[in-house]
Amino acid sequence: MRPLLALLLAGLAGCVAAPGAVEPVIDLGERRCDAAPMLQGALPLPARTGTALDGRDGPVTFDFDLGAPCIRQVGERAGLYAPFRLPDGHGEVMLTVRSVPLGRTLLAPRVRLLDASGREVWRVEADGFLFRGQGLTALVRLRPEEVFVVVGSSPVMAGQGFDRLQTDVRTQVIPIGVGVVMMPVGSEATRQMMFSHNGRVVLETRPMDTATIAR
């Protein structure tokens, strides 16, 4: 088995590809999983928005696939996960976690916040996320004692299907005499989606504001 850090870096390497259609993974079967998150290889989150892990401007993007580590806690089925280390001395800042669709696949997200000892102090399940556009978003106020954020898939939600209305709006240029008229045109269609273990998440931290938060 490859080291945890190598697995996580492999997930980050996949984030440069453009979003595309991937088949949803709805069951991890009986694969061997960790009983608790392994935090030794936790990837650092930037101290401010605009400093990404790969050196480019922008938030941190992570793709979950079957190469990610899994966790199986008492009374639950297995789920994938990825640990991140919060900025040292972050104080009270906002953490944004977005689950972004890849085709009809949407990661069923779960977020755990842990202290320095690995003890869970807060959790946001998939039902604590809100749809914004085609993806799911949670805003979480970080507290000083929280050191790690573990993002993963919810085994409770994975495999559930749902429909989302997809709107396509564009501008059409219509010549009229010596001029033109810009006319918005568009279409709507219902898209069948699936909550899954695999998918794409985007994380970023920023100063606190008055936005709605998960706690």
pLDDT greater than 70 at residue 214? no
pLDDT greater than 90 at residue 186? no
List the domain boundaries for the chain.
Answer: 4-161+194-207
* H or E element in which residue 71 lies: strand 70-71
Q: DSSP characters for 138-207?
A: EEEE--TT--EEEEEE-TTTTT-EEEEEEEEEEEEEEEETTEEEEEEEEEEEEEEEEEES-EEEEEEEEE
What's this model's pTM, rounded to 2 decimal places? 0.74
pLDDT greater than 50 at residue 178? yes
Residue 88 or residue 6, greater confidence: 88
pLDDT score recorded for residue 209: 60
Distance CA 202, CA 82 (A): 12
pLDDT greater than 80 at residue 2? no
Q: Which of 5-14, 108-117, 167-176 has the lowest mean pLDDT?
A: 5-14
User: For residues 48, 54, 55 and 59, what is the CA-based torsion angle, rounded to 10 degrees?
Assistant: -30
